[in-house]
Amino acid sequence: MSEPSRRDPLEGLDHATLARLLPDLLLIGQLIDRAGMPALLGEFGLDGMRDVAIEEWQAASPHYTRRMKDALSITGDGVAEIFKGFQLDVGAPPEFMDFRYGVTDHGNGEFWLDHCGALMDVEPMGERITKTMCHDIEDPTFPATALATNPRAQVAPIHRPPRDPEGRTPHCHWKVWIDPEAEPAPLPEPAVESAASRLIDFRFDAPAPQDTAGEGERDDYAGPLLTDLVFSEFTSAALIRIIREVYLQMHLLAVGFHQSVRRRSDRETADRLLAYQATGISGVAGGRLREVLGVGGDARGLAAVLDVHPLSGPVAYTGFTSRTTDDGAGLIVSWDTSADGFHDDTWLPLLAAGDLRPLETAAQGVDPRWRVEPAIGDGSRVEAVLWLGAEPTEEPEEVAVTRISTGAAFNFGPTRTALPITPV
């Protein structure tokens, strides 16, 4: 067998592929929430689902917003910088959550959604669940994101669903302002708990891309707020930095989910519901990433997908490697359990405990015939062999319910023009 490479697989991707991969990972990150909600509804009912969703995002977004700002040299504490954080948030993938922005001055602005994919998912379910998302969940979670830029930031709706009249656009409209007289908002309690996670201050080596041909010139997001981020305008190194942070956003959502469920139940229940979430999102992600990468369903194609899958990335945090078998027909995947990700409340400890269903659905998203066989080891690694069976496996419930979201089959449109937003 060939020796596994510990190089970050992102560094081997060409610039065009990195630029295609990033928005899809943002969308996959948004669908993590959708993957877990059915299990929460069954366990705790609508009110419990609401409370876990709030705590999940509160645990994650203050930390990952700060990290993304650092990664892209986003300085300043005004409304424009708050909006920059929104643009690189898994809660607001481009187009699917089509945020538009207006800035009056440093301390005042508005945003609205010309299209809200999340609303398209819940609106057919009725007014109660629509209000749960658009009122109960958003009221405490938008401020939790904004406080990472300015703890005196205020966020309030101008209008929001349920839509009146029916079909009203934009789907919602919000104002954001900095109140210099307000008491600085403290970190929400879920973010205080998640702050003990190793990923909060995890540091990466600077990326060393192999192929920088045709790359853009933007290496950070200093300068003006833009109407849209055209990812091909970023350098390969900047894209790798952003993607690494997007992976950590996903892991932080898993941390927040697990801690919130555990807080109102026990570890066994938290593990079971987190496994449901991980299994559902892994299958959808496997299929979407195969399309993004344009690979086949064979071992090489599977390796390419798993190398950039949320279960694997970022490899410096997860300890993931992969290698093909000697005959080239199978794949061996491995996670080093001494990696930091195995010490946080992410999906990775589930793998270490022997639950390989998320890996299996990730592979079957590439081709439903893939099978997973765990390798026996000493506990220092999670290792499995994947081989191609003769018959496809029926898609499991966890993946099927995640596909109910319109985001699972969402297609991004033509590249938009990035225009600077200047105060009016």
pLDDT score recorded for residue 6: 61
pLDDT at position 159 is: 97
> Is residue 2 scored above 80 in pLDDT?
no
Look up residue 252 and give its amino acid. L
At residue 115, what are phi and psi to the nearest 5 degrees?
Answer: -145, 130
70: left (phi over 0), alpha (psi -120 to 50) or beta: alpha
pLDDT by residue (tens digit) across 196-226? 999 999 999 999 998 888 899 999 999 999 9
Over residues 146-161, the pLDDT tens digits come to 999 999 999 999 999 9
Model pLDDT, residue 316? 97
Whether the bond into 170 is cis, omega within 30 of 0: yes
Average pLDDT estimate for 280-296: 98
Distance of CA 124 to the CA centre of its chain: 25
pLDDT of residue 367: 98
Average pLDDT value for the chain: 96
Per the CB < 8 A criterion, the answer to whether 121 and 410 are in contact is no
Per-residue pLDDT averaged across 66-82, rounded? 97
Cβ neighbours for 328, distance < 8 A, ≥ 6 positions apart: 299, 300
Other C-beta atoms lying within 10 Å of the C-beta of residue 89: 23
pLDDT bin (cut points 50, 70, 90) of residue 110 is: very high
Record the tokens describing residue 230, joined without a space.
Answer: 């055209």
Q: What is the largest CA-CA distance in the chain?
A: 68
Contact between 199 and 345 under an 8 Å Cβ cutoff? The reply is no
> Side-chain half-sphere of 382: how many Cα atoms within 13 Å?
23
- For the chain, counts of helices (H) and of strands (E): 13, 8
201 vs 197: CA distance, rounded Å: 8
The fraction of the chain above a pLDDT of 90, given in percent, is 95
List, for residues 129-184, the tens digit of each pLDDT value: 999 999 999 999 999 999 999 999 999 999 999 999 999 999 999 999 999 999 99
CA angle 203–208–209, rounded 5-degree value: 125
Question: Residue 423: what pLDDT?
Answer: 85
- Please tell me the predicted confidence (pLDDT) of residue 7: 86
Report the pLDDT value the prediction gives residue 420, as an integer from 0 to 100: 96
Indicate if the pLDDT at residue 5 is higher than 70.
Answer: no
The pLDDT value recorded for residue 80 is 98
